[in-house]
Amino acid sequence: MNYRENEARKYFTIDFDLPVTYPLITFPRPAFQAAALTDMRFSEVLLRLGCNLVGWLIIYSYFIWLGVIPQVSCGPEGAELYRLVLASCPVAILAAMLLGLAHPLTGVIDYLKWLALPLVILIPLSIDPIAKAMETATLGALDFCGPLPASDWQRAWAPVQIATVTIIVIAVARFLIRRRQVVA
């Protein structure tokens, strides 16, 4: 490398660290609370917020699909919507586990807890399809869409939904009840 290239590299490269600040977000910090946000990079803050919001959206979509089942009739394919909801159970459980990632964001967590409010409407709407499926397929051994005998996945559908809804409700309750992390 010659002198001219060295001088050009010195003037046209950025080789220093910029302090990351959060000018639009204000986070109140009492004196006893650790500075959690100042220890995080901006990308970590966005990742935590993004995971939390995506988790809420997946949970909403799961409960909406579950609540829509009584309004959608079985088509020529059979009980495809039931299979879709059954396949989305693991994804909804994982999404419920993402909710806790936002707890170090102490100033934002109080606002994120309001996102649980639509579940007050969605959870009761999802109980009816589970109860009907428990009555017909699990206990009655009939198919969802007709008088045929129920298959194994149809018999297991309602208990899996009950377990999934229970896990999601517990995860949301833990998210709402969990206190801010205080570091001594």
Give pLDDT tens digits for 5-40. Answer: 666 565 555 544 444 454 455 445 444 344 455 566
Q: What is the CA radius of gyration of the chain?
A: 24
On whether the CB atoms of residues 79 and 156 are closer than 8 A, the answer is no
> Can you state the angle between helices 119-133 and 42-68, rounded to 10 degrees?
40
Q: What is the pLDDT of residue 34?
A: 43
Q: What is the pLDDT of residue 95?
A: 92
Q: What is the pLDDT of residue 33?
A: 43
* pTM, entire model: 0.71
Q: What is the pLDDT of residue 59?
A: 94
Own/partner pairs, 94-98, CB within 8 angstroms, 24+ separation: 95/54, 95/55, 95/56, 95/57, 95/58, 95/59, 95/62, 96/55, 96/59, 96/167, 96/168, 96/171, 96/172, 97/55, 97/171, 98/51, 98/52, 98/54, 98/55
Q: What is the pLDDT of residue 1?
A: 61
Q: What is the pLDDT of residue 62?
A: 94
- Give me the residue label for tokens 């600040």: 21
Q: What is the pLDDT of residue 64?
A: 93
DSSP-derived 3-state class of residue 24 = coil
Which ranges of the chain have pLDDT less than 50? 15-20, 22-23, 26-27, 29-35, 181-184
